[in-house]
Copies of this chain bind each other. A is one copy, B any other.
Amino acid sequence: MSAPSVSTHAGPLSYEQAGVRYELIDPLKVAAQRAAAGTAGHLAGHGFAEIAASRGESAYVVDVGPFHLASIVECLGSKVLVADAMKALTGRCHYAAIAQDTIAMAINDLVTVGATPLVVQAYWAAGGSEWFEDHERAEALVAGWKAACDHCKVAWGGGETPALAGIVEAGRIDLAAACTGIVNPKERLSLGEKLGPGDAIVLLASSGIHANGLSLARKLAERLPHGYLTDVAPGLGYGEALLAPTILYAPVTEALWAAGIRVHYAANITGHGWRKLLRHPGAFTYRVHTVPPVPPVLEFIAREAGHDASEAYGTLNMGAGFALFMPAAQAAEAVRVAGRCGVAAWVAGAVEVGPKRLIVEPLGLQFDADALALR
């Protein structure tokens, strides 16, 4: 069903209002990052060394001799709450998609450093043994997990399925994935040393909200007259649209390497939306001249939450799920390779000499260096 906008009455809805208070978490993050950095020296005792540039990047990388080792653990976040709400409303189980989302959180981060993902471990912490009584849901989680592993050509190594009554809420599940991969050959490392003016920015399509911004999206659902059943486009309900599974980018990054394309840097566009394009520590200007089409669900959220373009692109992926930086001469071919993997892509802009900022020309937007405080 279609619904009139209510956002003008309720006022705009910011990400902070949606419940995530970064100012409380950030001091711990900083302390943890500092302590973690202090452990790097242990690798020397084993004959190895960390790749220091990977600290603060999306995956941690260690030089183990013949190749680099990359590892990561990532949480799905609150997207399960949308799946649970939709099950109650429609009876439909979305846990196969949820499984893909969880794996995507880990794998899409891991591939940014140039790694080939090899092994995924499952972390499924339920709010009690009873969670597993819903066999349809449990089987969908298993089937979706397997399918995502198959799509990314990774081995599902195993995992942990604890029942955590008293820690995880009854009827809920906390989903995460750990992933280990290798950067092989080592020259495939894409931590950004080679990034420079003249490089092209290639954007890969998202399928929708992916698994970031869900706190905002859930808060918004409370303000909609028909909640998750509100149409975002003819025949497409809000809840269904939110649950489109995150695109897995590993097949694209593998195909790009195989096609001889040399990625200089990559960013998974998750929290902080397009501000993630500023992730590289260097001082460059990123000028975007082409903007991907915006998935209906993201256009809907931006409109209903009362976001202007700056807040929308600074919070959500707005149609670009992953950014690749590469020699300009290879960009057109990269778009073709991605397309052959079933992922739409655009040569969207270029890296330039200039102060650190992102300029999105078609929208008249600019994000300065301080727009992405936390790497």
Contacts and interface: CB of A to CB of B under 8 A. Distances in A.
Interface of A: 19-22, 24-25, 27-29, 31-33, 35-36, 38-40, 42-43, 45-46, 48, 50, 55, 59-60, 62, 64-67, 69, 71-75, 77-78, 80-81, 116, 118-119, 121-123, 125, 128-130, 132-133, 135, 138-139, 141-143, 145-146, 149-150, 153-169, 172-174, 176, 178, 180, 182
A245 B118 CA distance: 33
How many chain copies does the complex carry?
A: 2
A40 B72 contact: no
Contacts of A135: 27
Nearest to A144: B35
Contacts of A20: 129, 163
Given A40-B155, A157-B60, A178-B178, A146 B35 contact: yes
18 contacts: A19-B128, A21-B163, A27-B132, A28-B138, A29-B161, A31-B139, A32-B161, A35-B143, A39-B146, A39-B156, A71-B119, A72-B121, A73-B122, A75-B164, A123-B178, A166-B172, A167-B169, A167-B174
A290 B149 CA distance: 46
Interface centre among A27, A46, A143, A172 (most CB of B within 10 A): A46
A46 B185 CA distance: 12
A24 B129 contact: yes
Contact of A174 (B28, B73, B142, B168): B168
Nearest to A156: B36
Contact of A42 (B55, B145, B154, B163): B154
Contacts of A36: 122, 146, 155-159
A33 to B, nearest CB: 8
B39 A73 contact: no
Nearest to A138: B28
A73 B178 contact: yes
A119 B69 CA distance: 9
A54 B166 CA distance: 32
A44 to B, nearest CB: 10
Contact of A73 (B62, B121, B154): B121
A74 B160 contact: yes
Contacts of A119: 60, 62, 69, 71
B28 A153 contact: no
Contacts of A176: 73, 123, 125, 160, 176
A142 B28 contact: yes
A71 B159 contact: no
B174 A125 contact: yes
Interface centre among A150, A169, A178 (most CB of B within 10 A): A178
